[in-house]
Amino acid sequence: MRFGVQTALQNTRPNELIPLWRRLEELGYDWISVWDHFHAVGGGTDNLEAMTMHTALALCTERVRVGGLVYSVNYRPLAVLANGIAAIDHLSNGRATLGLGAGYMQSEYDAWGYDFPPPRDRLDLLEDSLSGLRRLFAGEAVTEHRRHLRLEGAVCDPTPVQERLPIWIGGGGEQRTIPMAARLADGWNVPMASLSDFDRKVRVLDHHIELAGRDRRAVERSVGLGLCWDRSLLVERFGDRAASLEPMILGGSTGEVTERVATYRDAGADWLFVSIRAPFDLEELERFAEEVVPEFR
């Protein structure tokens, strides 16, 4: 099992994020990622743009996987996304992972003038985009005439450093999203999932991997969880959401946290991402890296 940190981009600035990312790499985390939003989740508008900060992340680290978890396929033309991620892969010397999602925050769509299609159309675009990106990253000239995607001899040049840049799908939908990840993706992430939910969704993923004739190891599976060592602070940190989020937040003694992490590993998690928002508590992440992570090496 491997570990990473998903860093939210709301209510923070680069001069806070860059030293945080460098310290996380020093602590031995194997992955650092950013999210893709224009507004703060939960309210407010203070939020840094994802691709710019993904670039900064690539430049200020040397070893960790640098991920975008996940880019909404509705926010950027495929050419912008493909060429931008390829450039980030060059800047990171082949450490980039691209996460894709169908998008869900209608308030962002409305504020910035994007259409907010029904789920079926957004998922159709996600599937078309993943297939198109795979071909673009492979160096093909791509022509597509689809309802949600039109390309005329599109080329991504230069292609990424990695021969197969990993493309992950994020989301927990068991009807379309997880089956799509099973058929087409290199990895799958579900954010803030209880153990029972994660266990069920992994079984759905494995079923569809088998139907697709792929090897189980072809799709890395990951889960995002919160971290709050002192459980008496849950209400202070999360307010009226504390009770509903509690099953998805690690906390308690080192032994208790280690045991809970092990249950996710046993349920099939290849990766566990600690999801954090500003104000960042570096001491909590240091303790997790020093006391919990070594138990899974």
Q: At what angle do helices 195-212 and 254-267 cross, to 10 degrees?
A: 20
CATH number at residue 257: 3.20.20.30
Domain count, the chain: 1
pTM for this model (two decimals): 0.95
What is residue 145's three-state secondary structure? strand
239: which 2 tokens?
Answer: 């307010």
* Cα-based angle 80, 159, 8 (whole degrees, multiple of 5): 50
Which secondary structure element, helix H or strand E, spans residue 63, and what is its range? none
The residue type at 206:
D
The residue type at 107:
S
Strands (E), 21-128: 31-34, 65-72, 96-101
pLDDT in tens, 61-112: 999 999 999 999 999 999 999 999 999 999 999 999 999 999 999 999 999 9
User: Domain of 136?
Assistant: 2-296
* Cα-based angle 223, 45, 275 (whole degrees, multiple of 5): 15
pLDDT in tens, 144-192: 888 888 899 999 999 999 999 999 999 999 999 999 999 999 999 999 9
Strand partners, 224: 191, 273
